[in-house]
Amino acid sequence: MNMDSDLQIAGDILEVPHLLQPERAHPETVAEFAALARSIADDRSQWAPYVEYDATTRWYHRLRTGPGYEVWLLSWVPGQGSGLHDHGLSSGVLTVLEGELTERTDRGVRRLDSGAQRVFAPGYVHEVVNDSLEPAVSLHVYYPGLTEMPMHESLQAQCAPAAPGLIDA
């Protein structure tokens, strides 16, 4: 009876370098972009020195670029929000670095605590707001780089019932 395991039959994969995928210099998949965001989030020295807070407008800073992608750092004082928007043709990863943010979509409201991560595809419509009493910081990775951020009608207006007597055409 043959007692060899599949590994013994196939051989050690590490001994067959031509079968291994080469290490990529830049992320290419959703998982790799999420991992990039997580690695930056985990190393405060890469982002904390750049954070600023502005009570008059949302503050943002482009932290890094790579082939076809951008990494942005945003701060949110209490009450600041993005407005309802999408990211055009860009996909993205949003990671909360400090504080908490609220994400509103047509599917509901989600609280994003420090460490939370959201991945979204082109055309994803949402609003991000700091509803807390403390400032927040978030990291955003966009692929391809962000070229537009179309604004949308408020969620309340989209979901509001028609006024009595009006007929939709």
Is 163 inside any structural domain? no
| CATH number of the domain enclosing 107 | 2.60.120.10
pLDDT by residue (tens digit) across 25-66? 789 899 999 999 999 999 999 999 999 999 999 999 999 999
What's residue 160's pLDDT?
47
Is 8 inside any structural domain? no
Binding site listing for Fe cation = 85, 87, 126
Residue spans of alpha helices (H) in 27-150: 30-42
Q: What is the band of 13 on the pLDDT scale with cuts at 50, 70, 90?
A: low
pTM of the model: 0.79
Binding site listing = 85, 87, 126
Is 19 inside any structural domain? no
d(CA 52, CA 60): 8
Burial of 7 (0-12, 13-18, 19+ CB in 10 A): exposed
Residue closest to 53 by CA, chosen among 135, 117, 112? 135
